[in-house]
Amino acid sequence: MKVAKFIRHTLVRCGGLGKLSCVLVLLVAVSGSFGCSERLSARAEFNHQRLAAVNAYPLEQNLITNIDNRSTVSLNGKWQVIIDPYENGYYDYRYQPTKDGYFKNAKPRDKTDLVEYDFDKSETLNVPGDWNSQQDKLLFYEGTIWYKKSFDYQRKPDRRVFVYFGAANYHSIVYLNGQKLGEHEGGFTPFNFEITKVVHEKDNFLVVKVDNKRRRDAVPTVNTDWWNYGGLTRRVELVEVPETFIRDYFIQLKKGSLKTVAGWIQLDGNKAEQKITVEIPEISVKRAFKSNADGYVKIEFDAELQLWSPENSRLYDVTITSETDSLTDSIGFRSIETKGSKILLNGKPIFLRGICMHEQAPKSNARACSQEHAETLLGWAKEMNCNFVRLAHYPHNEYMPRTADRLGILVWAEIPVYWTILWENEDTLKNALNQLTEMITRDKNRASVILWSMANETPVGKARNVFLRALVKRAKSLDPTRLITAAMEKSYKGANKPVINDPFGRHVDVLGCNEYIGWYEGLPDKCDLYTWSTTYDKPVIISEFGGGALGGFHADKDTRWSEEYQEYLYEEQIKMLEKIPFLAGTSPWILTDFMSPRRPLPQIQDYWNRKGLISDKGEKKKAFYVMQRFYEKLKQAEQ
């Protein structure tokens, strides 16, 4: 019986190893049942060590930052598309990659030539934008769509050109004029490819194969609670830079200081060693540095600055000038740290009055992708008296943190390590590390961003802990100034006694905890019975709580889906939360209703998650005003 059980267990675990590997493992298992557990334990330990070692391998660093302040040409607008569910434009009939795929943008040479596609006669989709909301037939579509954009481009002498994608969900292969530029995996972070030697003055055609099929080994995995929007969901730009240009930089307050600016600058190009200046004209600061043979230089200097905060969202124009390039960014300076159960902003305790947000466009079934969307969503948060938003469950578009910088809203930024992914798969970890790296690379100079979140609601286990520790190590190596967190789940040490004791809590600075008492767990009056505790002397954010309501549906407070039930739940939750002594913030779930295939209940959900405090039509539900009043009370108490 033990051998049979082990064989079944091994077959499950070998899902990604291939038939030969499974046979070899089974031969070892069946050759003798004695010692099976020892061998399995040794194998698991080997996997843990192997996955931990992945973090030692550096990922390619070529992402260009601060696109808004560079010379760009927009490729947004109408793109020709071909829907390709069988991927005939990429594979031949033996399912082998073909050299004559749709990326060739072929035309018949004469009337005898057979070409079975034509971008120029095909339909169009808007970029940026998801394909699901643009055509009814694509609402549930998961697969490949080919995008094509034709353009002319007059490149200036001694300049380099890149094509930049804000994001494409999920896996993308990019071609220019029939030549492959590269691939990218991950649906929420930017990427770019150099096209200097490939771009022509006339008749360029940029082709992108975008595939949003869910995969068990992907990040996120096959099961989530949001719509799998596919396509070129964020802007596409041509970026023109000098032959040696300022590719990236990190300019923030040094950890533990309120006046020392520190960081680094990275050049890209052949002329690596250059004199570089950093200037903040408004306070008459100008400092000179010299980059090394790799184009890299560390910077550090003191400055008298007005510190950025929700009450004073002060941004300074910071200009970096090299011998060959100049770049300006609007940067706020603030410190963030913890002391016991408190979060300290600029050395003073702050309570995070927050709300969770998905990247759902306001009053729409589309993915948010514009500056106007960011203004509306964050404006609603401000109206609720929030000073904090959790951008769940993936990096949102760049307009969000930049708008948060201006509006004075603190940000929790997250990667989609969500629920149950393949913790022991090396490629899955590499994928997560890459998405984390791209998120931090893009947003590390945003004062609003104070928390890097590693995961959401992941099951406790050794392999998972090793995986997440690798992410923490990468995040701290890229940015030593911000706090690390994750949204975890509670356990119990007795009836009605929830405790926050996830072992991963040892590796984060701030503990996030999701709970749905009154919705998935009992009725709202159960909140009054609970007494919370934690095994850590660290700040806690209740990073999710709430329940669903159909906007405009009214009944008594005991009727599910009514605004009155949701209102009652929030009132009882607040009473419970006010009794938690180590609570440092809350971010209820969620600002607006959002689309989700997990929510099919007719006439109530209709594929919308109804936990929003604002409906899909933009109407505020009664619970919105409960949170608004609660946060106003906290706000007044702080003054």
| Structural domain boundaries enclosing 179 | 67-242
Q: Which CATH number covers residue 357?
A: 3.20.20.80
Domain contains 30: no
Domain contains 17: no
Domain contains 206: yes
Query: Is the bond preceding residue 117 a cis peptide, omega within 30 degrees?
Result: no
Give the model confidence (pLDDT) of 417-455 as tens digits.
Answer: 999 999 999 999 999 999 999 999 999 999 999 999 999
Q: Which CATH number covers residue 295?
A: 2.60.40.10
**Cβ–Cβ under 8 Å, residues 537 and 341:** yes
For residues 17 and 627, the model is more confident at 627
Residues 501 and 611 reside in one and the same domain: yes
pLDDT of residue 3: 41
Rounded to whole angstroms, what are the CA distances from 625 to 184, 358, 381, 570, 635? 42, 20, 12, 10, 15
Residues 330 and 473 reside in one and the same domain: no
Q: pLDDT category, 523, cuts 50, 70, 90?
A: very high
Enter the tokens of residue 103.
């990326």
Read off the pLDDT of each residue in 390-402 and give the average, rounded to a whole number: 98
Give the model confidence (pLDDT) of 211-261 as tens digits.
Answer: 999 999 999 999 999 999 999 999 999 999 999 999 999 999 999 999 999
Domain contains 139: yes
Residues 100 and 163 reside in one and the same domain: yes
Query: Is the bond preceding residue 281 a cis peptide, omega within 30 degrees?
Result: no
pLDDT of residue 155: 87
Which residues contact residue 43 at a Cβ distance below 8 angstroms, ignoring those fewer than 6 apart? none
Domain contains 3: no
Res. 43: pLDDT tops 80: no
Read off the pLDDT of each residue in 588-607 and give the average, rounded to a whole number: 98
Domain contains 46: no
The helix or strand, by DSSP H or E, that contains position 290, with its residue range, turns out to be strand 285-290
pLDDT of residue 51: 57
pLDDT of residue 68: 96
Using the 3D structure, point to which of 265, 300, 334 is the last residue of a domain: 334
pLDDT of residue 639: 82
Alpha carbons 321 and 631: distance in angstroms, whole number:
43
Using the 3D structure, point to which of 310, 334, 358 is the last residue of a domain: 334
Residues 286 and 376 reside in one and the same domain: no
Residues 227 and 329 reside in one and the same domain: no
Residues 191 and 238 reside in one and the same domain: yes
Q: pLDDT category, 49, cuts 50, 70, 90?
A: low
Percent of the chain past pLDDT 70, that is, above it, reads 90
Domain contains 41: no
Report the number of distinct structural domains present in the chain.
Answer: 3
Q: pLDDT category, 413, cuts 50, 70, 90?
A: very high
Q: Is 622 helix (H, G, I), strand (E, B) or coil?
A: helix
Res. 22: pLDDT tops 80: no
Residues 356 and 427 reside in one and the same domain: yes
pLDDT of residue 430: 97
Query: Is the bond preceding residue 9 a cis peptide, omega within 30 degrees?
Result: no
Q: pLDDT category, 1, cuts 50, 70, 90?
A: very low
- Closest to 614 (Cα-Cα) out of 413, 388, 376: 376
Residues 372 and 473 reside in one and the same domain: yes
pLDDT of residue 116: 96
Res. 15: pLDDT tops 90: no
Give the model confidence (pLDDT) of 125-168 as tens digits.
Answer: 999 999 999 999 999 999 999 999 999 999 889 999 999 999 99
Q: Which CATH number covers residue 80?
A: 2.60.120.260
Alpha carbons 362 and 60: distance in angstroms, whole number:
36
Using the 3D structure, point to which of 334, 369, 389 is the last residue of a domain: 334
Residues 87 and 195 reside in one and the same domain: yes
Mean pLDDT over all residues of the chain? 93
Chain center to CA of 614: 23
Q: pLDDT category, 29, cuts 50, 70, 90?
A: very low
- Closest to 414 (Cα-Cα) out of 350, 357, 466: 357
Domain contains 505: yes
Residues 203 and 296 reside in one and the same domain: no
Give the model confidence (pLDDT) of 285-319 as tens digits.
Answer: 999 999 999 999 999 999 999 999 999 999 999 99
What is the three-state SS of 243-263?
CCEEEEEEEEECCCCCCEEEE
pLDDT of residue 31: 40
Give the model confidence (pLDDT) of 324-378 as tens digits.
Answer: 999 999 999 999 999 999 999 999 999 999 999 999 999 999 999 999 999 999 9
pLDDT of residue 52: 56
Residues 327 and 341 reside in one and the same domain: no
Beta bridge partners of 198: none
Read off the pLDDT of each residue in 477-494 and give the average, rounded to a whole number: 96
Percent of the chain past pLDDT 90, that is, above it, reads 89
Residues 330 and 341 reside in one and the same domain: no
